[in-house]
Amino acid sequence: MDRIVDGLYWFLAFLFSTTVHEAMHALVALRGGDPTAYRGGQVSISPIPHIRREPIGMLLVPLVTAFYNGWAIGWASAPVDTAWAERHPRRAALVSAAGPVGNLLIALIAWIGIRIGLGMGAFEAPPSPVFAHLTLAANGNPHSLAAFAAQGLSVLVTLNVFLAAFNLLPLPPLDGGSAVLGILPKDLADQAAPILRSPGLSIVGFVVAWQLFPKISGPLFHMLVASLYPGQYVFR
């Protein structure tokens, strides 16, 4: 039963977080002059248009991984007018960065929620923090509202920090691979954009990112714990 409950937390957090991620892409694209995603209904925090576009990445894979592995992975996408992106590489870079920014905002709000709970005495530091239990209910009742909030906030913080960090790796096809165009000189960005969007390079970039991320996820998590409980834990 605990595994099912944990899987449900991760799946719902993934669904919400990914929806916000893609909605941020779509909103910034609309403000920048590309209404493609808006016309697809993706300037929305309703998951339905995002699920409709990527049913396997938004539903099937996250459900399977959440209940089998105990944490959810998946994918989604927002359509972009490639001709517009080529004309406006800097705007396209902002669109790419907007998704991870949305995840960081969710993580920040959830982090503040944990800090407030700790300050009010509703939460307490766990003996050994893990991804889904950055904090625990102080009353010790695993079925209390405080326990529900503690686990929900823990999952939201961890998932969104990891989503933002993974997507900001400067490798195609991740958001960071396109966002780097925003800091390049315009002539160089114009030349680099078609190369970064090539399918072959995208496959290589994703494989490299998948191998690289486990090396940074541990230190990231330790930093997250240290930000909640300064000096309380020693990591080796």
Question: Alpha-carbon distance 6 to 67, whole Å?
Answer: 8
| List 22, 54, 86, 124, catalytic entry | 22
Task: Note the helical H segments in the chain.
Answer: 2-32, 36-39, 48-53, 55, 61-68, 82-87, 89-120, 145-167, 175-179, 186-196, 199-228
Residue 4 Cα distances to 65, 155, 159, angstroms: 12, 15, 18
DSSP string, 49-96: HHHHH-HIIIIIHHHHHHHHTSS----------HHHHHH-HHHHHHHH
DSSP string, 182-201: GGS-HHHHHHHHHHHT-HHH
22 catalytic residue (yes or no): yes
Backbone angles phi, psi at 123, to 5 degrees: -115, 160
User: What's the token pair of residue 134?
Assistant: 């950055």
User: Which helix H or strand E contains 137, and what residues bound it?
Assistant: strand 136-137
Nearest to 34 by CA among 97, 99, 87: 87
Nearest to 93 by CA among 36, 176, 154: 176
Residues classed as catalytic: 22
